[in-house]
Amino acid sequence: MGGVTSSTSSHSAPPRTRKPPEERREDILACAAAIAIEEGLERITLRAVAARLGVRPGLITHYFPVAEDLVVAAFARAAVLEREQFFTTGGTPMQRLARFVDHVEQGRSLPLARLWLNARHLSRFSPPLDTELQIQDELDRERLTAMIEDGIASGDFPGADAESACIRIFIALDGGGSYVNSSQPIEHPAHTRVVADVAEWALGLEVGALREAMAALPG
């Protein structure tokens, strides 16, 4: 009898380890942000996140008692992560701007454009989301304005007004992004190249100067 007991004990399942609260919260946010990018903010529910993570919905509620708080936090996380893809730090201001616009023209910004369009619509009904949207919008503007100011100082964008140029470039970006959910492919250069065209105009660059810089990007 003693041998049987010993054998059973030696094959018992190891105890499940509980993740630290900070790590668990990060898992929840990462999952919710992925749902936001892939399916839309309105598809973020406690049950949907729990199902993806393979946990009980009650665990999600422990960290985010109000579902709206999770939606807002997921949008913020996705916006922050995508911002780092848009704004790189290496190279001249012209090269950094070229990478920014190339990111748009290659379609790599489409998930972000879809997320922002979604957030702007839902923010009409959610004051907390509207507040977070304004915060993230301002952070984007600060990053682009700083890039332009660097270009003014270096001579890449001589005579440009950083604030005005930033506003115009983002208007072009948002305007193009408003068609992101179109069922028909958009291929006309007047649409696909609108951000580059507006950036050249807003920064006082010669026509084709930015596209030349984009063509010289490695890879």
What secondary structure does DSSP assign to 107-160, as a single string? Answer: TTTHHHHHHHHHHHHHTTS-HHHHHHHHHHHHHHHHHHHHHHHHHHHHTSSTT-
User: Which residues lie below 8 Å from residue 138, measured CB to CB, with a gap of 6+?
Assistant: none
Q: Is the pLDDT of residue 1 over 50?
A: no
State the helix-helix crossing angle for 67-86 and 21-39, rounded to 10 degrees. Answer: 80
User: Which residues lie below 8 Å from residue 1, measured CB to CB, with a gap of 6+?
Assistant: none
Decide: helix, strand or coil at residue 34: helix
Cβ contact 86:100 at 8 Å:
yes
Tell me: the pLDDT tens digits for 145-204?
Answer: 999 999 999 999 998 999 999 999 999 999 888 888 888 888 888 888 999 999 999 999
Cβ contact 209:195 at 8 Å:
no
Sign for the pseudo-dihedral over CA of 5, 8, 9, 15 = negative
Which domains does the chain carry? 19-79 (1.10.10.60), 87-219 (1.10.357)
Cβ contact 199:172 at 8 Å:
yes
Tell me: the pLDDT tens digits for 79-133?
Answer: 988 888 788 888 999 999 999 999 988 888 888 889 999 999 999 999 999 999 9
As a whole number of angstroms, the distance between CA 88 and CA 95 comes to 9
Residue 176: per-residue pLDDT: 87
As a whole number of angstroms, the distance between CA 126 and CA 20 comes to 31
- 8-state DSSP, 18: P
Cβ contact 134:74 at 8 Å:
no
Instruction: Name the nearest CA neighbour of 86 among 10, 26, 144, 44.
Output: 144
Residue 45: per-residue pLDDT: 93
